[in-house]
Protein backbone atom coordinates (compact mmCIF):
# COMPACT_ATOMS: atom_id res chain seq x y z
CA UNK A 1 0.00 0.00 0.00
CA UNK A 2 1.23 3.49 -0.83
CA UNK A 3 0.31 6.61 1.13
CA UNK A 4 0.71 10.31 0.34
CA UNK A 5 3.76 11.27 2.39
CA UNK A 6 3.08 14.99 1.88
CA UNK A 7 -0.30 14.65 3.57
CA UNK A 8 1.16 12.51 6.36
CA UNK A 9 3.99 14.95 7.07
CA UNK A 10 1.58 17.89 7.18
CA UNK A 11 -0.20 16.18 10.06
CA UNK A 12 2.90 16.66 12.21
CA UNK A 13 2.43 20.25 13.48
CA UNK A 14 -1.27 19.68 14.16
CA UNK A 15 -0.49 16.41 15.89
CA UNK A 16 2.20 17.84 18.17
CA UNK A 17 0.05 20.83 19.11
CA UNK A 18 -2.69 18.56 20.46
CA UNK A 19 -0.52 15.72 21.76
CA UNK A 20 -1.33 14.39 25.24
CA UNK A 21 1.05 12.05 27.07
CA UNK A 22 -0.25 9.17 29.21
CA UNK A 23 -0.49 10.06 32.88
CA UNK A 24 2.65 9.23 34.90
CA UNK A 25 0.30 7.67 37.43
CA UNK A 26 -0.97 5.24 34.80
CA UNK A 27 2.56 4.21 33.79
CA UNK A 28 3.41 3.81 37.47
CA UNK A 29 0.68 1.17 37.67
CA UNK A 30 2.79 -1.11 35.46
CA UNK A 31 5.91 -2.22 37.38
CA UNK A 32 7.49 -3.77 34.28
CA UNK A 33 7.75 -0.31 32.73
CA UNK A 34 9.97 0.84 35.58
CA UNK A 35 12.29 -2.07 34.84
CA UNK A 36 12.22 -1.27 31.13
CA UNK A 37 13.08 2.37 31.82
CA UNK A 38 15.95 1.43 34.13
CA UNK A 39 17.35 -0.95 31.52
CA UNK A 40 16.76 1.46 28.61
CA UNK A 41 14.27 -0.93 27.04
CA UNK A 42 11.12 -0.09 25.09
CA UNK A 43 8.17 -2.47 24.80
CA UNK A 44 6.22 -2.04 21.55
CA UNK A 45 4.66 -5.50 21.22
CA UNK A 46 1.35 -5.19 23.06
CA UNK A 47 -0.59 -6.89 20.26
CA UNK A 48 1.34 -10.06 21.16
CA UNK A 49 0.76 -9.64 24.89
CA UNK A 50 0.32 -6.77 27.32
CA UNK A 51 2.19 -5.84 30.47
CA UNK A 52 0.32 -6.29 33.75
CA UNK A 53 -0.90 -3.61 36.20
CA UNK A 54 0.10 -3.61 39.84
CA UNK A 55 -3.57 -4.16 40.71
CA UNK A 56 -3.41 -7.62 39.10
CA UNK A 57 -0.06 -8.44 40.69
CA UNK A 58 -1.28 -7.49 44.17
CA UNK A 59 -4.59 -9.29 43.57
CA UNK A 60 -2.79 -12.52 42.67
CA UNK A 61 -0.53 -12.26 45.72
CA UNK A 62 -3.48 -11.63 48.02
CA UNK A 63 -5.52 -14.45 46.48
CA UNK A 64 -2.79 -17.06 46.69
CA UNK A 65 -1.38 -15.99 50.06
CA UNK A 66 -4.74 -16.06 51.85
CA UNK A 67 -5.86 -19.34 50.30
CA UNK A 68 -8.32 -20.54 47.69
CA UNK A 69 -10.46 -23.66 47.30
CA UNK A 70 -11.87 -25.49 44.33
CA UNK A 71 -15.12 -24.10 42.95
CA UNK A 72 -18.60 -25.64 42.71
CA UNK A 73 -17.49 -28.51 44.93
CA UNK A 74 -16.55 -28.04 48.57
CA UNK A 75 -19.31 -26.80 50.85
CA UNK A 76 -17.00 -25.31 53.46
CA UNK A 77 -16.57 -21.56 53.92
CA UNK A 78 -13.46 -21.23 51.76
CA UNK A 79 -15.09 -23.27 49.00
CA UNK A 80 -18.22 -21.12 49.10
CA UNK A 81 -16.14 -17.93 49.14
CA UNK A 82 -13.99 -18.95 46.18
CA UNK A 83 -17.03 -20.10 44.20
CA UNK A 84 -18.70 -16.74 44.83
CA UNK A 85 -15.57 -14.91 43.66
CA UNK A 86 -15.35 -17.14 40.60
CA UNK A 87 -18.93 -16.49 39.55
CA UNK A 88 -18.58 -12.78 40.34
CA UNK A 89 -15.62 -12.76 37.94
CA UNK A 90 -17.90 -14.28 35.29
CA UNK A 91 -20.41 -11.49 35.90
CA UNK A 92 -17.67 -8.85 35.70
CA UNK A 93 -16.50 -10.16 32.32
CA UNK A 94 -20.09 -10.23 31.07
CA UNK A 95 -20.54 -6.62 32.17
CA UNK A 96 -17.32 -5.51 30.47
CA UNK A 97 -18.52 -6.74 27.05
CA UNK A 98 -22.18 -5.83 27.48
CA UNK A 99 -23.54 -9.36 27.91
CA UNK A 100 -26.81 -9.40 29.84
CA UNK A 101 -26.58 -12.98 31.10
CA UNK A 102 -23.42 -14.10 32.99
CA UNK A 103 -24.18 -17.68 31.93
CA UNK A 104 -23.23 -16.57 28.41
CA UNK A 105 -19.57 -16.37 29.49
CA UNK A 106 -17.58 -19.58 29.05
CA UNK A 107 -14.06 -19.71 30.47
CA UNK A 108 -11.42 -20.86 27.98
CA UNK A 109 -7.63 -20.93 27.75
CA UNK A 110 -7.84 -18.12 25.21
CA UNK A 111 -9.24 -17.17 21.83
CA UNK A 112 -7.71 -20.17 20.05
CA UNK A 113 -9.42 -22.62 22.37
CA UNK A 114 -12.67 -20.66 22.06
CA UNK A 115 -12.70 -21.15 18.28
CA UNK A 116 -11.99 -24.85 18.62
CA UNK A 117 -14.73 -25.09 21.25
CA UNK A 118 -17.27 -23.59 18.85
CA UNK A 119 -16.20 -26.00 16.13
CA UNK A 120 -16.54 -29.04 18.40
CA UNK A 121 -19.52 -27.98 20.50
CA UNK A 122 -21.64 -26.17 17.92
CA UNK A 123 -20.52 -26.48 14.29
CA UNK A 124 -20.10 -30.26 14.39
CA UNK A 125 -23.80 -30.54 15.30
CA UNK A 126 -25.34 -27.59 13.46
CA UNK A 127 -23.58 -27.40 10.08
CA UNK A 128 -23.93 -29.97 7.32
CA UNK A 129 -22.52 -30.92 3.94
CA UNK A 130 -23.25 -28.19 1.40
CA UNK A 131 -23.30 -25.36 3.94
CA UNK A 132 -20.93 -22.42 3.54
CA UNK A 133 -18.76 -20.44 5.94
CA UNK A 134 -17.54 -16.90 5.29
CA UNK A 135 -14.10 -15.85 6.53
CA UNK A 136 -11.94 -12.87 5.62
CA UNK A 137 -8.46 -12.82 4.10
CA UNK A 138 -7.33 -11.07 7.31
CA UNK A 139 -7.85 -13.97 9.70
CA UNK A 140 -5.32 -15.07 12.30
CA UNK A 141 -4.48 -18.77 12.07
CA UNK A 142 -6.61 -19.30 15.20
CA UNK A 143 -9.76 -18.34 13.28
CA UNK A 144 -8.71 -19.96 10.02
CA UNK A 145 -7.16 -23.38 10.63
CA UNK A 146 -10.02 -24.79 12.78
CA UNK A 147 -12.59 -23.84 10.13
CA UNK A 148 -10.32 -25.06 7.33
CA UNK A 149 -10.02 -28.46 8.99
CA UNK A 150 -13.75 -28.57 9.73
CA UNK A 151 -14.61 -27.74 6.12
CA UNK A 152 -12.40 -30.54 4.84
CA UNK A 153 -14.01 -33.07 7.19
CA UNK A 154 -17.58 -32.12 6.33
CA UNK A 155 -17.43 -30.76 2.76
CA UNK A 156 -18.44 -27.30 3.91
CA UNK A 157 -17.22 -24.58 1.56
CA UNK A 158 -15.34 -21.49 2.73
CA UNK A 159 -15.94 -18.14 1.02
CA UNK A 160 -13.45 -15.30 1.45
CA UNK A 161 -13.98 -11.58 2.01
CA UNK A 162 -11.26 -9.72 0.11
CA UNK A 163 -9.14 -6.77 1.26
CA UNK A 164 -9.10 -3.44 -0.55
CA UNK A 165 -6.07 -1.28 -1.35
CA UNK A 166 -6.25 0.46 2.06
CA UNK A 167 -6.23 -2.75 4.09
CA UNK A 168 -9.96 -2.69 4.81
CA UNK A 169 -12.43 -5.49 4.16
CA UNK A 170 -14.25 -5.07 0.84
CA UNK A 171 -17.83 -4.71 2.02
CA UNK A 172 -19.43 -4.63 -1.43
CA UNK A 173 -17.64 -7.85 -2.39
CA UNK A 174 -18.59 -9.39 0.96
CA UNK A 175 -22.26 -8.75 0.24
CA UNK A 176 -22.06 -11.01 -2.83
CA UNK A 177 -20.93 -13.99 -0.73
CA UNK A 178 -24.05 -14.38 1.40
CA UNK A 179 -26.76 -16.80 0.34
CA UNK A 180 -29.21 -19.29 1.78
CA UNK A 181 -26.25 -21.68 2.11
CA UNK A 182 -24.30 -19.37 4.41
CA UNK A 183 -24.40 -20.99 7.84
CA UNK A 184 -21.69 -18.99 9.59
CA UNK A 185 -19.75 -15.75 9.35
CA UNK A 186 -16.51 -16.14 11.36
CA UNK A 187 -14.71 -12.82 11.29
CA UNK A 188 -11.93 -11.00 13.07
CA UNK A 189 -12.96 -7.78 14.80
CA UNK A 190 -9.51 -6.30 14.14
CA UNK A 191 -6.70 -7.64 11.95
CA UNK A 192 -3.55 -8.41 13.93
CA UNK A 193 -1.40 -7.47 10.90
CA UNK A 194 -3.30 -4.63 9.24
CA UNK A 195 -4.89 -3.17 12.36
CA UNK A 196 -8.06 -2.55 10.36
CA UNK A 197 -11.38 -2.64 12.21
CA UNK A 198 -13.91 -4.85 10.44
CA UNK A 199 -17.27 -3.28 9.50
CA UNK A 200 -19.15 -5.53 11.90
CA UNK A 201 -22.42 -3.64 11.91
CA UNK A 202 -22.83 -3.96 8.14
CA UNK A 203 -21.61 -7.57 8.06
CA UNK A 204 -23.91 -8.67 10.88
CA UNK A 205 -26.83 -6.94 9.18
CA UNK A 206 -26.03 -8.88 6.00
CA UNK A 207 -25.81 -12.11 7.99
CA UNK A 208 -29.18 -11.51 9.62
CA UNK A 209 -30.91 -11.43 6.24
CA UNK A 210 -29.95 -15.07 5.70
CA UNK A 211 -30.17 -16.10 9.37
CA UNK A 212 -26.42 -16.67 9.30
CA UNK A 213 -24.77 -17.20 12.68
CA UNK A 214 -21.88 -14.87 13.56
CA UNK A 215 -18.65 -15.53 15.45
CA UNK A 216 -16.27 -12.64 16.16
CA UNK A 217 -12.60 -13.03 17.06
CA UNK A 218 -12.09 -10.12 19.44
CA UNK A 219 -8.49 -10.82 20.47
CA UNK A 220 -7.08 -7.58 19.03
CA UNK A 221 -10.17 -5.44 19.66
CA UNK A 222 -10.70 -6.02 23.37
CA UNK A 223 -7.89 -3.69 24.51
CA UNK A 224 -8.64 -0.82 22.13
CA UNK A 225 -12.39 -0.64 21.45
CA UNK A 226 -15.60 -0.58 23.50
CA UNK A 227 -17.30 -3.96 23.10
CA UNK A 228 -21.04 -4.51 23.50
CA UNK A 229 -22.12 -7.93 22.29
CA UNK A 230 -25.76 -7.14 23.01
CA UNK A 231 -25.69 -4.18 20.61
CA UNK A 232 -23.69 -6.12 18.03
CA UNK A 233 -26.17 -8.97 18.03
CA UNK A 234 -23.50 -11.61 17.40
CA UNK A 235 -23.87 -15.26 18.36
CA UNK A 236 -20.33 -15.77 19.64
CA UNK A 237 -17.50 -13.44 20.71
CA UNK A 238 -14.09 -14.50 22.02
CA UNK A 239 -11.03 -12.84 23.50
CA UNK A 240 -7.95 -13.60 25.63
CA UNK A 241 -7.04 -12.15 29.01
CA UNK A 242 -3.39 -11.53 28.22
CA UNK A 243 -4.32 -9.22 25.34
CA UNK A 244 -6.12 -6.87 27.73
CA UNK A 245 -3.64 -6.43 30.61
CA UNK A 246 -4.71 -9.69 32.25
CA UNK A 247 -3.07 -13.07 32.87
CA UNK A 248 -2.11 -15.65 30.26
CA UNK A 249 -3.88 -18.97 29.89
CA UNK A 250 -7.38 -17.55 30.38
CA UNK A 251 -9.96 -16.26 27.96
CA UNK A 252 -13.68 -15.90 27.56
CA UNK A 253 -16.20 -17.03 24.97
CA UNK A 254 -19.54 -15.26 24.83
CA UNK A 255 -22.45 -17.43 23.67
CA UNK A 256 -25.78 -15.79 22.88
CA UNK A 257 -28.61 -17.33 24.95
CA UNK A 258 -30.39 -18.29 21.71
CA UNK A 259 -27.51 -20.68 21.01
CA UNK A 260 -27.52 -22.37 24.44
CA UNK A 261 -29.69 -25.30 23.36
CA UNK A 262 -27.50 -25.91 20.31
CA UNK A 263 -24.25 -26.32 22.26
CA UNK A 264 -23.14 -29.86 23.04
CA UNK A 265 -20.47 -31.09 25.43
CA UNK A 266 -17.11 -31.01 23.68
CA UNK A 267 -15.13 -32.52 26.56
CA UNK A 268 -16.48 -34.63 29.41
CA UNK A 269 -15.51 -35.42 32.98
CA UNK A 270 -16.04 -33.77 36.32
CA UNK A 271 -17.83 -30.47 36.98
CA UNK A 272 -19.95 -30.56 33.82
CA UNK A 273 -22.05 -33.56 34.88
CA UNK A 274 -25.36 -33.66 36.71
CA UNK A 275 -25.91 -37.37 37.36
CA UNK A 276 -23.57 -40.27 36.52
CA UNK A 277 -24.20 -44.00 36.61
CA UNK A 278 -22.22 -46.92 35.20
CA UNK A 279 -24.55 -46.87 32.21
CA UNK A 280 -25.24 -43.21 31.48
CA UNK A 281 -24.63 -39.57 32.37
CA UNK A 282 -26.62 -36.36 32.33
CA UNK A 283 -25.01 -32.96 32.01
CA UNK A 284 -25.22 -29.49 33.52
CA UNK A 285 -26.57 -26.55 31.51
CA UNK A 286 -24.32 -23.77 30.24
CA UNK A 287 -21.88 -22.48 31.27
CA UNK A 288 -20.74 -25.53 33.27
CA UNK A 289 -21.53 -27.87 30.35
CA UNK A 290 -18.55 -26.43 28.48
CA UNK A 291 -16.18 -26.16 31.46
CA UNK A 292 -15.18 -29.72 32.43
CA UNK A 293 -12.64 -30.28 35.18
CA UNK A 294 -11.11 -27.82 37.60
CA UNK A 295 -11.07 -24.44 35.87
CA UNK A 296 -8.30 -21.84 35.87
CA UNK A 297 -9.56 -20.15 39.01
CA UNK A 298 -6.62 -17.79 39.43
CA UNK A 299 -6.80 -16.85 35.75
CA UNK A 300 -10.53 -16.12 35.79
CA UNK A 301 -10.30 -13.96 38.90
CA UNK A 302 -7.19 -12.27 37.54
CA UNK A 303 -8.77 -11.41 34.21
CA UNK A 304 -11.79 -9.93 35.98
CA UNK A 305 -9.42 -7.91 38.17
CA UNK A 306 -7.70 -6.42 35.11
CA UNK A 307 -11.01 -5.62 33.43
CA UNK A 308 -12.29 -3.97 36.60
CA UNK A 309 -9.09 -1.90 36.72
CA UNK A 310 -9.74 -0.73 33.16
CA UNK A 311 -13.34 0.25 33.92
CA UNK A 312 -12.04 2.76 36.48
CA UNK A 313 -9.98 4.54 33.81
CA UNK A 314 -11.14 7.08 31.25
CA UNK A 315 -10.76 4.59 28.41
CA UNK A 316 -12.10 6.91 25.72
CA UNK A 317 -9.40 9.46 26.55
CA UNK A 318 -6.71 6.79 26.75
CA UNK A 319 -7.72 5.28 23.42
CA UNK A 320 -7.56 8.76 21.89
CA UNK A 321 -4.03 9.14 23.28
CA UNK A 322 -3.13 5.79 21.74
CA UNK A 323 -4.25 7.04 18.34
CA UNK A 324 -2.35 10.30 18.72
CA UNK A 325 0.77 8.31 19.49
CA UNK A 326 0.07 6.05 16.52
CA UNK A 327 -0.16 9.08 14.23
CA UNK A 328 3.16 10.31 15.59
CA UNK A 329 4.63 6.87 14.87
CA UNK A 330 3.32 7.00 11.30
CA UNK A 331 4.79 10.46 10.72
CA UNK A 332 8.20 9.33 11.97
CA UNK A 333 8.18 6.13 9.92
CA UNK A 334 6.93 7.88 6.78
CA UNK A 335 10.07 10.03 6.82
CA UNK A 336 12.33 6.99 6.44
CA UNK A 337 13.41 6.20 2.85
CA UNK A 338 12.45 2.73 1.58
CA UNK A 339 10.07 2.10 4.49
CA UNK A 340 6.88 0.52 3.16
CA UNK A 341 3.81 0.76 5.37
CA UNK A 342 1.62 -2.33 5.17
CA UNK A 343 -1.11 -1.74 7.74
CA UNK A 344 -4.23 0.38 7.52
CA UNK A 345 -3.92 4.06 8.46
CA UNK A 346 -7.59 4.76 9.11
CA UNK A 347 -10.40 2.93 10.88
CA UNK A 348 -7.70 1.09 12.79
CA UNK A 349 -6.19 0.32 16.18
CA UNK A 350 -2.69 1.63 17.08
CA UNK A 351 -0.72 -1.02 15.24
CA UNK A 352 1.78 -0.39 12.43
CA UNK A 353 3.15 -3.12 10.18
CA UNK A 354 5.91 -2.26 7.74
CA UNK A 355 8.97 -3.48 5.86
CA UNK A 356 12.25 -1.92 4.80
CA UNK A 357 12.91 -2.45 1.10
CA UNK A 358 15.65 -5.01 0.40
CA UNK A 359 16.20 -5.73 4.12
CA UNK A 360 14.70 -8.78 5.84
CA UNK A 361 12.40 -8.07 8.75
CA UNK A 362 14.20 -10.54 11.03
CA UNK A 363 17.49 -8.71 10.56
CA UNK A 364 15.91 -5.38 11.49
CA UNK A 365 14.15 -6.86 14.53
CA UNK A 366 17.38 -8.52 15.67
CA UNK A 367 19.30 -5.24 15.65
CA UNK A 368 16.44 -3.47 17.42
CA UNK A 369 16.43 -6.21 20.04
CA UNK A 370 20.14 -5.62 20.62
CA UNK A 371 19.27 -1.99 21.38
CA UNK A 372 16.49 -2.94 23.79
CA UNK A 373 13.62 -2.17 21.41
CA UNK A 374 11.02 -4.93 21.46
CA UNK A 375 8.80 -5.27 18.39
CA UNK A 376 7.62 -8.31 16.47
CA UNK A 377 8.75 -9.67 13.13
CA UNK A 378 7.58 -12.64 11.07
CA UNK A 379 4.28 -13.79 9.65
CA UNK A 380 2.30 -12.96 12.81
CA UNK A 381 0.28 -16.21 12.66
CA UNK A 382 -1.29 -14.92 9.45
CA UNK A 383 0.63 -16.60 6.64
CA UNK A 384 -2.28 -16.63 4.14
CA UNK A 385 -2.82 -12.90 4.67
CA UNK A 386 0.84 -12.13 4.04
CA UNK A 387 0.69 -14.25 0.88
CA UNK A 388 -2.29 -12.16 -0.23
CA UNK A 389 -0.24 -9.02 0.44
CA UNK A 390 2.67 -10.43 -1.58
CA UNK A 391 5.13 -10.59 1.32
CA UNK A 392 6.63 -13.32 3.50
CA UNK A 393 7.15 -11.38 6.71
CA UNK A 394 6.95 -7.90 8.16
CA UNK A 395 7.75 -5.84 11.23
CA UNK A 396 5.00 -4.78 13.63
CA UNK A 397 4.88 -2.04 16.25
CA UNK A 398 1.84 -2.24 18.52
CA UNK A 399 0.96 0.19 21.28
CA UNK A 400 -0.63 -0.11 24.70
CA UNK A 401 -2.17 2.36 27.13
CA UNK A 402 1.21 2.83 28.79
CA UNK A 403 3.32 3.83 25.77
CA UNK A 404 4.61 7.39 25.46
CA UNK A 405 6.25 9.62 22.87
CA UNK A 406 9.74 8.80 24.20
CA UNK A 407 9.14 5.16 23.26
CA UNK A 408 8.53 6.15 19.64
CA UNK A 409 11.58 8.42 19.58
CA UNK A 410 13.80 5.64 20.93
CA UNK A 411 12.37 3.20 18.41
CA UNK A 412 12.88 5.66 15.55
CA UNK A 413 16.51 6.31 16.46
CA UNK A 414 17.23 2.60 16.81
CA UNK A 415 15.49 1.83 13.53
CA UNK A 416 17.54 4.44 11.65
CA UNK A 417 20.72 2.96 13.11
CA UNK A 418 19.67 -0.59 12.21
CA UNK A 419 18.87 0.42 8.63
CA UNK A 420 22.22 2.18 8.30
CA UNK A 421 24.08 -0.92 9.48
CA UNK A 422 22.12 -3.30 7.25
CA UNK A 423 22.46 -1.02 4.22
CA UNK A 424 26.25 -1.02 4.32
CA UNK A 425 27.95 -2.78 1.43
pLDDT digits (tens, 9 = 90+) for 72-89: 999 999 999 999 999 999
Q: What is the mean pLDDT of residues 390-417?
A: 98
* In a shared domain, residues 216 and 349: no
pLDDT grade for 24, boundaries at 50, 70 and 90: confident
Range of the domain at 416: 5-52+314-422
- Identify any residues that bridge with 353 across adjacent strands, giving them in sequence order: 396
Q: Which residues contact 293 (CB under 8 A, 6 or more apart)?
A: 267, 269, 270, 271
Please say whether the beta carbons of 359 and 419 come within 8 A.
yes
* In a shared domain, residues 292 and 175: yes
Residue-level pLDDT at 1: 45
For residue 325, tell me if it sits in a domain. Answer: yes
* In a shared domain, residues 387 and 410: yes
Catalytic residue among 234, 305, 333, 381, which?
381
- Identify any residues that bridge with 190 across adjacent strands, giving them in sequence order: 197
Residue-level pLDDT at 6: 44
Question: Which strands, in side-by-side order, build the sheet including 339-341?
Answer: 339-341, 351-356, 394-398, 376-378
In this predicted model, which residue has the larger pLDDT, 145 or 13? 145
* In a shared domain, residues 40 and 148: no
Q: What is the CATH number of the domain that holds 324?
A: 3.90.1150.10
Q: What is the mean pLDDT of residues 160-179?
A: 99
* In a shared domain, residues 294 and 410: no
Q: What is the mean pLDDT of residues 43-63?
A: 99
pLDDT (tens digit per residue) in 176-205: 999 999 999 999 999 999 999 999 999 999
Q: What is the mean pLDDT of residues 374-391?
A: 99
Residue-level pLDDT at 21: 74
Residue-level pLDDT at 10: 57
pTM here?
Answer: 0.96
For residue 337, tell me if it sits in a domain. Answer: yes
Percent over 70 (pLDDT), the chain: 95
For residue 61, tell me if it sits in a domain. Answer: no
pLDDT grade for 19, boundaries at 50, 70 and 90: low
Among 6-15, 114-123, 399-408, the least confident range: 6-15
Residue-level pLDDT at 424: 83
Q: What is the mean pLDDT of residues 112-133?
A: 99
Domain end, chosen from 311, 336, 359, is at: 311
Per-residue pLDDT at 5 exceeds 90 = no
* In a shared domain, residues 240 and 264: yes
> Across all residues in the chain, what is the average pLDDT?
96
Number of domains in the chain: 2
* In a shared domain, residues 190 and 244: yes
Asked if 381 is an active-site residue, the reply is yes
Burial 62-71 (b: 16+ CB within 10 A, else e): ebeeeebbbb
Domain end, chosen from 311, 328, 353, is at: 311
Domain end, chosen from 258, 288, 311, is at: 311
Among 12-26, 248-262, 301-315, 340-354, the least confident range: 12-26
pLDDT (tens digit per residue) in 260-317: 999 999 999 999 999 999 999 999 999 999 999 999 999 999 999 999 999 999 999 9
Amino acid sequence: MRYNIFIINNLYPVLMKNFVQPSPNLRANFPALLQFDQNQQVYLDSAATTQKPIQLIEHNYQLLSTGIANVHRSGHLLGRTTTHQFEQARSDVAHFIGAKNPASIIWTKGTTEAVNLIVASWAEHQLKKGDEIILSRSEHHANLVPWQQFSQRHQVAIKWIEIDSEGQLNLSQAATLFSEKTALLAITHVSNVLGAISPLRQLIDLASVYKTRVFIDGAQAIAHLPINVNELGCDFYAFSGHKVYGPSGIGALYVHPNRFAEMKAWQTGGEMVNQVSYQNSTFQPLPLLLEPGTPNIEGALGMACSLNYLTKLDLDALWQQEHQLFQYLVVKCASIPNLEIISALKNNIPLLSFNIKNIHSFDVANLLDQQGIYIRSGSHCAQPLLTTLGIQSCLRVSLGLYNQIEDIDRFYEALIEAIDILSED
